[in-house]
Structure 1
Amino acid sequence: MIRDEEATPFYKQLRNKILEEIESGKLKHGDKLPSERELAEQFQISRMTARHTLSILEREGVVERRVGAGTFINQRKIEMDFVTFNSFTKNMLSKGLIPSTQILSIRKMEAHAHLAQKLKLPSGEVMTAIKRLRLVNETPISIEESFLPEKLCPRLDEIITENDSLYEILEREYGIVLVMAKEYMQVTVSDESESKLLKIRSESPCILQESVAFDKNEKEIEFSSSLTRSDIVKFYSELKLK
């Protein structure tokens, strides 16, 4: 029952209770929540309050409301941080998740102006571009394309496989150790082809990241662009006051 004597509004109490049941494992991904009417009767609140609570949880990505079917618990979001600089594979393994990769394409290209500016290269420099689909526990979460100067890693397109970490290959085969990166993020929506790969609806909200990775000599080595699903991934950072 929602407690009338508490200072916390009813909708917040109900929201917190649902989140606690998800955290404890009582409610799992795919479970159907009671209807607005059932929630109102169970917790002795108004249907308007129940509806408001479900709307908040939907905006937060905790639940999905399906017309004619009901409200269902979404998959718990995967945390990706801006605190440590790690490869995708190491990042996911550290969280107890199972990462995998599908190589979508590998091509040679000439650096266009934006790419040349990011990596401080002359326009027209020959680059190796590797486009990959990233999956966690067999669920696609992002599309990533990496660009590296061909002269720094010749024959990379012949060496890399779907089971390889790009950063481990750079270190093992070419002696290139990446130690830091600068990341830029913005909100965007997926187009039709991206949506098909990520198994989401067209024009779904996503996070677009652009990153430049540096070696120990502060030399720009890799530029990458990735499109990440916002419905199952969240980002966090740690900030300190100077």
Structure 2
Amino acid sequence: MSSNSLYMEIYLDILSNIKKGVYSENSPIASERELCSLYHVSRSTIRQAMLLLYENGYVYKVQGRGTYVKPSIFEQSLYKFYSFTDELKKNNMDICNSIISYNIINLDTNLSSILNRPKDELFHKIVRLRTVENSPLMIESTYLPKNRFFKIEETLLENGSLYAYLKSTYSLNVDRASETFKPILPKSWQAELLNISTKTPCTLLERFSYEEDELIEYTSSIVRGDKYVFKVNLSN
């Protein structure tokens, strides 16, 4: 069998193991020496296979440490109002929402200042872990005024869009929204939920949504920087 056929077979086998999760995202691929021993081929053949994996975007290299599996990246355009769930469902992504906690809270001084609402006003606080294609992607904390949304059905939020639920149940009509983005490092409990290191860069995304110029929703999300990117298209 030619060396060209060999390196392609090895490429396809490693790629299959990546897609099956044998090699998980951000995990190291075996060293060249180990792969030579595993496949009984020369180092040059292994290098050809690894180069093809790199060129096709399946792996990345860390100087002095080796080759690692590149994570899948989800992209969100920011040219219009969007729903995380709806946007990913357009691409036939498998989405799971795990409710970490749900409480009725009184706004403390800090939240009262952020939301420009009276201290001690009652708000729903919903904390969810958003997972896509079996990869935890973000921790989302949503605050909703109880005087506008009397009751929230938790079970309906586990597999659907929050906005769709509020629209159908309470005739919510978001007129406008503003978002801020800030790079941060996750806290230990956040890193554990997101299955990342505390040194993995994340984005703190804050959304303020309004209905007839009144704040109707505030969401603070910790988004994995290695998995989710935000894109803005600019034109004259």
Q: How high is the TM-score relative to the length of structure 1? A: 0.71
Listed one character per residue, the Cα deviations across residues 100-122 of structure 1 (whole Å, up to 9, x for unaligned) are 10000001111133433443311
Give the 4+ runs in structure 1 shifted more than 2 A: 25-35, 64-68, 112-120, 157-161
Matched, 1:232 2:222: no
CA contact (8 A) 1:81 1:236 kept: yes
Q: Which residue of 2 aligns with 1:89?
A: 85
Q: d(CA) in 2 for partners of 1:186 and 1:71?
A: 29
Say how many residue pairs are matched: 203
CA distance in 2, matches of 1:34, 1:122: 59
Report percent identity of matched pairs. Answer: 25
CA 1:159/1:191 → structure 2, altered by over 3 Å: closer, same or farther? closer
Contact 1:115/1:223 (CA < 8 Å) preserved in 2? no
Cα gap change, 1:159/1:175 in structure 2, threshold over 3 Å: closer, same or farther?
farther
For 1:62 and 1:80, how far apart are their aligned partners in 2? 22
Query: Aligned match of 1:110 in 103, 106, 113?
Result: 106
The match for 1:192 is: 188
Distance in 1 between residues matched to 2:139 and 2:77, nearest whole Å: 18
* SS, match of residue 92 in structure 2: coil
Alpha-carbon distance change, 140 to 171 in structure 1, aligned in 2, over 3 angstroms? same
Matched residue type, 1:98: D
- For 1:141, the equivalent position in structure 2 comes to 137
TM-score of the aligned structures, taking structure 2 as reference length: 0.72
Listed as ranges, the gaps of 5+ residues in structure 2 are 1-10, 33-42
Aligned partner of residue 159 in structure 2, secondary structure:
coil
- What CA distance in whole angstroms lies between the structure 1 residues aligned with 2:121 and 2:153? 16
Once the two structures are superposed, the pairs formed by residues 1-242 of structure 1 within 5 Å of their partners are 30=23, 32=29, 38=44, 63=60, 65=62, 70-156=66-152, 160-215=156-211, 217-241=212-236
Task: Please report how far the alpha carbon of residue 28 of structure 1 lies from its aligned counterpart in structure 2 after TM superposition.
Answer: 6.3
Quote how far apart the aligned CAs of 1:123 are: 1.5
8 Å CA contact retained: 1:118, 1:223: no
Rounded to whole Å, the distance in 2 between the matches of 1:218 and 1:66 is 51
Give the secondary structure class of the aligned counterpart of 2:166. Answer: helix
Match of 2:38 in 1: none
C-alpha deviations, 1:97-147, integer Å up to 9, x for none? Answer: 111100000011111334334433112111100000000011100000000
1:138–1:179 Cα change, 3 Å:
farther
- The code of the aligned residue for 2:207 comes to S
Give the conservation status (yes or no) of the 8 Å contact 2:77–2:230.
yes
Aligned AA for 2:186? S
Answer yes or no: is the 8 Å Cα contact 1:102–1:133 preserved in 2.
yes
